[in-house]
Amino acid sequence: MYTQAMDIPSPERDETARGGPRSVREAEYEAEIDAKVARGEFIEAKDWMPEAYRKTLVRQISQHAHSEIVGMLPEGNWITRAPTLKRKAILLAKVQDEGGHGMYLYAAAETLGVARDDLVDALHSGKAKYSSIFNYPTLNWADIGVIGWLVDGAAIMNQIPLCRCSYGPYARAMIRICKEESFHQRQGYDLLLTMMKGTPEQRDLVQDAVNRWWWPALMMFGPHDSASTHSGDSIKWGIKRISNDDLRQKFVDAAVPQARVLGITLPDPALKWNEARGHWDFGPIDWSEFWNVVNGHGQCNRERLADRVQAWEDGAWVREAAMAHAEKQRKRDRLAA
């Protein structure tokens, strides 16, 4: 989900992105890449690519993969407590999809010449980021609906343009991911519609969840364009197609009528239709909260990371067994040949 909005400053990236002096051959190659991007063609794994482009993609795709995997945790928390068999089956399928998204994306990152173990190490050591939205807790059952509606909804806004991003393996992975995200969004909205037709207590739970998730969902699009220092490169390379603020506005414009149908109030007194702009105006975002969570001080940062590390350690025997099995197959194939 997530992805381009985490385009936050990194000193290491600044250095590589600016690059040193280039050879004539490199400059020619770069001109070729620029022309390909301009023609809307994909850059493939075996093509030459500028080092800064490769690094930006590794960083973005791996952060996206981490977000999918960490994103399984807040909802996984409710699988055993889903109110009906139907909702449990839907939630299981959804959480499993997120695991699958992580796998496609790690595989896409690997085509850029990085090892999956190194990416996972970077997550576990706290060096790599994942979307901050998953550092918020899921306190009641309506949170599951609101995550689908708003969090997966914001993810779709962010991700649809990535289906046309310039790096082929990433763009193709995103096509399937977006189809599944759209199911996630709809199951969330359907869950909320059901609760809103229920008791006053159920409606209160939905409103409470919306109050807590609305602003963090808007933060998912990342800093304002004026503060997003790396957007220029990403747009030039065709990785990013639409700016953070434009995506955020599209999201607000879509969410307001959906909130009306649900019968809930979005927690923003400044929300107002602007006839001249043809868009909904909304209030200021508390960026201090955003940076606080990005920098590790959200409500669940420690818990999420600890859970991921634990899951990795608990799964060691599965990875060892899979490797041993693959080795056995290889030996058999060799003998048969």
Q: Which residues bind Fe ion (CB under 5 A)?
A: 68, 98, 101, 152, 181, 184
Amino acid residing at 120: V
Distance in Å, CB of 46 to Fe ion, minimum: 28
State the residue for tokens 């962010």: 158
Distance in Å, CB of 246 to Fe ion, minimum: 22
Residue 152 or residue 268: which is nearer to Fe ion going by CB? 152
Rounded to 10°, the helix 244-262/200-219 angle is 170
Residue 159 or residue 244: which is nearer to Fe ion going by CB? 159
Q: Which residues contact 54 (CB under 8 A, 6 or more apart)?
A: 112, 113
Residue 181 or residue 233: which is nearer to Fe ion going by CB? 181
Residue 182 or residue 211: which is nearer to Fe ion going by CB? 182
Rounded to 10°, the helix 301-314/51-70 angle is 90
What stretches of 71-167 show up as alpha helix (H) in DSSP?
Answer: 72-76, 85-110, 116-124, 142-146, 153-159
Distance in Å, CB of 95 to Fe ion, minimum: 9
Distance in Å, CB of 1 to Fe ion, minimum: 6
Residue 52 or residue 107: which is nearer to Fe ion going by CB? 107
Rounded to 10°, the helix 244-262/168-196 angle is 20
Residue 177 — φ and ψ, nearest 5°?
A: -60, -45
Distance in Å, CB of 64 to Fe ion, minimum: 9
Instruction: Decide: helix, strand or coil at residue 308.
Output: helix
Distance in Å, CB of 180 to Fe ion, minimum: 7
Instruction: Decide: helix, strand or coil at residue 274.
Output: strand
Distance in Å, CB of 184 to Fe ion, minimum: 4
Residue 98 or residue 268: which is nearer to Fe ion going by CB? 98
Cα–Cα distance measured from residue 121 to residue 124, given in angstroms and rounded to the nearest whole number: 5
Token pair for 332: 């058999």
Please report, in angstroms and rounded to a whole number, the separation of the first and last CA atoms in the chain: 45
CA distance readout (Å), 239 to 3, 42, 198, 220: 11, 11, 44, 18
Residue 3 or residue 233: which is nearer to Fe ion going by CB? 3
